[in-house]
Chain A
Amino acid sequence: MPVPEEQRIYAGWLDVASRAGLAILAVAFLAYAFGVVGAHVPVEELPTLWTLPLEDYLARTGAPTGWDWIGMLPNGEYLSLIGVVMLGMATLVCYVRLVLALLKNGERLQAGIAAAQVVVLFLAALGFLAGGH
């Protein structure tokens, strides 16, 4: 098959990371929805809250922004966010691996673009680009 090596490596890493993220999201959500774990905002109150604009929702519930949700574990809604974060991390991790593969092949221009993408994703993941808080 005429598939470049770095592309096969990227596919393998992405496969594992995305499957793990989706599995964690599904399991954590079921635990949350069926009351196996507690919740910061009781699920019975959600229908009166999810109609609100984001800022009002945050003010009413005291829900965290940025990475502060980690301090709210093991509440069910934040356990579910672990799966979401893994989905967000999948591409970042794969790009880091991609940069190494491209450099190994001597493809500096492509590696530079991939490295710039890593910086963008990393800054976004850290929350530096989110604004508003």
Chain B
Amino acid sequence: MKKISIGAVLALVFGCLSFAEPALAADGAGGVAWYWWPLGLFLVSFALGVLAVLGGIGGGVLFVPLVSGFFPFHLDFVRGAGLLLALSGSLSAAPQLLRSGLASLRLALPLALVGSITSIVGALIGFALPTDVVQTALGFTILAIALIMWMGPKDDRPRVGAQDALSSALRLHGVYDDPARGGRVEWRVHRTPAALFAFAGIGVLAGMFGLGAGWANVPVLNLLMGAPLKLSVGTSGLLLSVIDTSAAWIYLHRGAVLPMLVAPTVIGVMLGAKIGARLLRAASASAVRRAAIALLVVAGVRSALKGLGIWT
């Protein structure tokens, strides 16, 4: 079951990409009727939505390099669509995460403020730089993300000694229910100033490349601040909804949000996520994660080579 599921998802992704690539190589539009492109985008987004849930990653980090590398859409529009993909996914998940206590609004508030300001700066930088520079930087960033995900250090029970003065003042502590641990889990965090600095960088990357930044949020919350892993994952989703909103406004006002790209992407990834959630019990998370990392490497290499003009 799991091999069939993962294989089918990967086949769908590569099938759509293999369709897109030669058509793109022909003349940019490839003489293909217009409706095949949003349809292909929908299918790729659907598959990425399945992978994102099964692999515990954000869809945006796969979407932007893959679609900008293999589809004819200009990077400006792909970044806008990627940002809205990440935003809509996080908006859908955040209410349940908040109600269950697996996301902490209190913890998110200061980090989101810093991240949202710098995501606006990142978006402006992305529009100011030449496309090939952004494409190349995207490729190397994606390869770095793949490396981070491959190493994947996580701590389910981080130890936090004394809270720093800032986290004490902001009362960054709380309790949530975790049946897997057999009851309530008390949490608190430390190293808040360093985390704020890290989120400043995360915001720039999210805005500049149109990536959701769950791959970076979780390690900062978990490994740097000492938040429990489940709380880190949940709060990361909430943070995405705020940080990506700020950058999304920039893309919208600059005219870089094309509904013909955004709507199939958002609808596809939402439906895919629902299917992914149903497959979650049958699939091997580690196998999906390896598949996602492999996709990231392919997308990162493609993006870097395209930006450098080696494989256009």
Contacts and interface: CB of A to CB of B under 8 A. Distances in A.
B78 to A, nearest CB: 9
Given A117-B109, A133-B254, A29 B34 contact: no
A87 B99 contact: no
A84 B259 contact: yes
| B contact patch SS | helix
B290 interface: no
Given A11-B94, A57-B74, A130-B250, A81 B257 contact: yes
B242 interface: yes
B261 A50 contact: yes
B252 A81 contact: yes
Interface string A77-116: 1001101110110111000001000000001011001101
Contacts of B117: 120
A47 B29 contact: yes
A87 B260 contact: no
Given A48-B29, A88-B249, A120 B106 contact: no
A47 B32 contact: yes
A124 interface: yes
A15 B98 CA distance: 10
A11 B259 CA distance: 27
Contacts of A117: 109, 112-113, 116, 242
A97 B257 CA distance: 28
Given A15-B95, A25-B263, A47-B72, A65 B253 contact: yes
A124 B251 CA distance: 10
Contacts, number: 214
B34 A47 contact: yes
A33 B95 contact: no
Contact of A29 (B88, B127, B254, B263): B263
Nearest to A89: B245
Contact of B249 (A3, A29, A124): A124
Contacts of A22: 88, 91-92, 266, 270
Given A29-B267, A130-B254, A8 B99 contact: yes
4 closest cross-chain pairs (CB), A and B:
A29-B263, A47-B29, A80-B259, A130-B253
Interface of A: 1-4, 6-8, 10-12, 14-15, 17-18, 21-22, 25-26, 28-29, 32-33, 43-44, 46-48, 50-54, 57-58, 63-67, 76-77, 80-81, 83-85, 87-88, 90-92, 98, 107, 109-110, 113-114, 116-117, 120-121, 124-125, 127, 129-133
Given A81-B259, A84-B257, 18 more contacts: A1-B101, A7-B101, A14-B98, A21-B91, A47-B37, A48-B28, A51-B29, A54-B77, A54-B254, A58-B255, A77-B259, A81-B257, A83-B263, A87-B87, A110-B106, A113-B110, A124-B245, A127-B253
11 contacts: A11-B99, A22-B88, A29-B264, A50-B261, A52-B74, A80-B262, A109-B170, A110-B170, A117-B109, A117-B242, A121-B249
